[in-house]
Amino acid sequence: MRPPGIEPGSHFQYNLNMKIAVAKGDGIGPEIMEAVLNIFKAGKVPLQYEMVEMGKWVFDKGFSNGMTPEAKATIERLGILFKGPMETPKGKGVKSVNVTARKTWNTYANNREFQTLHGVDTVFSKAGIPIDITVVRENIEDTYGGIEHMLTHDVALSRRFITRPGSLQVIKYAFEMAKKKNARRITCGHKANIMKITDGLFLECFYEVAKDYPELKADDVIVDDLCMKLVTRPDLFDVVVLTNLQGDIVSDLCAGLVGGLGFAPSANIGDHICIFEAVHGTAPDIAGKNIANPTALLLSGLAMLRHVGLTENASVIENALLYTLEQGVHTGDFGDKSIPSVNTTQFADAIIGNFGKKPAVGAKEIIPNKPGTPEPLKLELNPMMVSVETGDETIVGVDLFIESDEQPVAIAEKCKRHAGVKFNLTNISNRGTQVWPTGSIYTNLVNQYNVRFESINDEPLNQQDVIGLYVSMSGNFKICSFELLNAWGDKKAYSMAQGQ
């Protein structure tokens, strides 16, 4: 599945004095980026920067994906993008430049580290509960595919997909990262008790990968329970891996635990391109005033330095940051109000002045920089990720999603006439609840039914059989959608309706 020679986490050891792409971002982006690059310069970080054009003003110039073709080419050539916060214009039907970048370049893992920062007060720090959680969020799939349709005037559908190769990719990354971090525990958050097939697949992949890491304690927890535990005993968790939407929610929850998005770095990891960014807003109300807090962008930058092997630079700067926070130095958005706040430049200068110092709590080990290795892999074709099938694939039926405001019994009578000699009408459901052959009078209906036809005696069907049924049924109903009912071997690959 992965191109040969590419191992997760190891494919970004570049030559020293390498170049990376930098996009300053909108609003407060330019000033916090300047602060961070000044800290890097003072810290003698051996990187060169190539500025690229992305963000609101690029949308405004007419580039509908929020980046210039030159920016795209530069990022693909250099393989690393360091970016400030960006704004996507609202109401123009354009998609978020942040999401487009993550999906187009297949940065399949979103890595976010949340740690207690002394000097940043939260209810948890006051209660003496230490936080050190890494959330790994799948970054491509789930409803973030954005595939949505109105089936009827009343019924909207979002196709939530989870794939085996996509799940394995992010989970392998999470285990590798957990191993490097010497994690106490790696936990899969999921909702497989309800989404038995999609989240069931993700959970199955999690335990499949876990077998290769017997040294790590791997377990799982249902996502709602996870969120309850995160606000009562966050110290119980270390690395948590989740699907996209659940990971989005859990990672912002964790950002809240350590003080908010102003203290939460974000890394988007792919096999060819990685994006390190501040995920907070562009704060247009304070833009240009030199008062914004650059901590989240700096922490994202430190994750980038470690990713490209500049571990010594990263630890020296991080120790200076932690020491500075411990001393009570703060911008206006956080910290002890009895100590006057500093501006963005002063905050950066304070960190620079503290190079070589170590915080009392949580000092980072100084690990020598690693020499650079190969250039990023160039591709000739889009990588196709296919896993080996187990069991013969057969079609055993079809679900037809029809528009109708009739009662279930009337629909069943009509459908039975179309079943022919190959199909049985086995079930009719409305919003996932069975309404025929049995059901409850108390089930409220919307004008879209799922009519399930299965093959008689589980005989394998072909597409011609399905087409025949479809043609016949379309004489009576508008068919908004269908899903084939597949089986692999004798394992049926579809859910039963509630009550079926």
By CB under 8 A, the residues from 401 to 460 that bind a copy of itself are 405, 407-408, 429, 431-433, 435, 439-448, 450
Q: Is 112 strand, coil or helix?
A: strand
Phi then psi for residue 463, to 5 deg, are -60, -30
Binding residue (CB under 8 A) for a copy of itself from 49, 213, 355, 494: 494
- 327-346 residues in contact with a copy of itself (CB under 8 A) are none
Q: Closest CB to a copy of itself among 419 and 484? A: 484
CB-nearer residue toward a copy of itself: 138 or 349: 138
Q: How far is the CB of 39 from a copy of itself (least distance, A)?
A: 26
Is 103 a binding residue for a copy of itself by CB under 8 A? The answer is: yes
The stretch among 31-39, 325-333, 336-344, 385-393 that binds a copy of itself (CB under 8 A) is 385-393
Q: Are 42 and 339 in contact (CB under 8 A)?
A: no
Are 486 and 395 contacting, i.e. CB atoms less than 8 angstroms apart? yes
| Residue where the block lists tokens 């247009």 | 284
Minimum CB–partner distance for residue 293 and a copy of itself (Å): 15
**Contact track, a copy of itself, 83-102, x by CB under 8 A:** ----------x-xx--xx--
Report in angstroms how near the CB of residue 99 gets to a copy of itself at its nearest.
7
Does position 399 bind a copy of itself by CB under 8 A?
yes
CB 461 within 8 A of CB 397: yes
Could you say which residues in the range 111-140 bind a copy of itself, by CB under 8 A? 122-124, 126-127, 129, 140
**Binding map of a copy of itself across residues 44-83, x = CB under 8 A, - = no contact:** ---------------------x------x---x-------
Q: Is residue 158 at the binding interface for a copy of itself, with CB under 8 A as the rule?
A: yes
Q: Does 261 bind a copy of itself (CB under 8 A)?
A: yes
443 and 433 Cβ atoms separated by less than 8 Å: yes
Task: Show the CA angle centred on residue 187, arms to residues 185 and 191, nearest 5°.
Answer: 165
- Does 255 help bind a copy of itself (rule: CB under 8 A)? yes
Give CA 174 to chain center in angstroms.
Answer: 12
Query: Considering Cα of 143, then 146, then 150, then 156, what sign does the dihedral take?
Result: positive
Q: How many residues bind a copy of itself (CB under 8 A)?
A: 136
User: Which residues, 137 to 156, sit near a copy of itself by CB under 8 A?
Assistant: 140-141, 143-151, 153-156
Among 50, 60, 413, 483, indicate the residue that binds a copy of itself (CB under 8 A): 483
**Gap between the terminal Cα atoms of the chain:** 38
The correct pick among 44, 382, 421, 457 for binding a copy of itself (CB under 8 A) is 382
Task: Let me know how long the chain is.
Answer: 500
Nearer to a copy of itself, 211 or 378 (CB): 378
Is the Cβ–Cβ distance between 31 and 38 less than 8 Å? no
Nearer to a copy of itself, 353 or 499 (CB): 499
Residue 482 in the binding site for a copy of itself (CB under 8 A): yes
CB of 429 to a copy of itself, least distance (A): 8
Min CB(244)–a copy of itself separation in Å:
9
Taking CB under 8 A as the criterion, the residue among 56, 272, 306, 364 binding a copy of itself is 272
Type of residue found at 56: K
**Amino acid at the residue 269:** I
CA distance 347 to 481: 57
Given a contact cutoff of 8 angstroms between Cβ atoms, the answer to whether 375 and 20 are in contact is no
Read out DSSP for 251-303? HHHHHHHTTSGGG-EEEEE-SS-EEEEE-S---GGGTTSS----HHHHHHHHH
Write out the binding residues for a copy of itself, residues 180-209 only, by CB under 8 A.
Answer: 191, 193-198, 200-201
Question: Which one, of 313, 300, 317, 320, lies nearest residue 368 by Cα?
Answer: 313
How far apart are the C-alpha atoms of 199 and 161, rounded to whole Å? 9
Angle between helices 344-353 and 29-42 (to 10 degrees): 20
Q: Which is nearer to a copy of itself, 210 or 261 (CB)?
A: 261
The answer to whether residue 259 forms part of the interface with a copy of itself (CB under 8 A) is yes
Least separation in angstroms between CB 159 and a copy of itself: 6
